[in-house]
């Protein structure tokens, strides 16, 4: 039983390390997606404003 536990612990530690590694990348991707969402929304509203003005 201790052997299985130690193997599990190694897996858990590996997973924690993996999460620490991936989290900054995930945050960057999320920020990038949000940035483009805002940009697309702004461009949409700009073009709609132009249409309204014309």
Taking the model in full, what pTM does it have?
Answer: 0.47
Residue 1 is given by DSSP the state -
pLDDT digits (tens, 9 = 90+) for 9-54: 778 888 888 888 888 888 888 899 899 999 888 888 877 666 555 5
* Helix and strand totals (H; E) in the chain: 1, 0
Q: Is 13 exposed, middle or buried (0-12, 13-18, 19+ CB in 10 A)?
A: exposed
């Amino acid at each position: 039983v201790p052997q299985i536990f130690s193997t599990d612990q190694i897996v858990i530690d590996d997973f924690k390390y993996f999460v620490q590694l991936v989290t900054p990348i995930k945050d960057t991707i999320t920020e990038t997606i949000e940035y483009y969402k805002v940009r697309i929304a702004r461009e949409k509203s700009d073009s709609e404003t132009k249409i309204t003005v014309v």
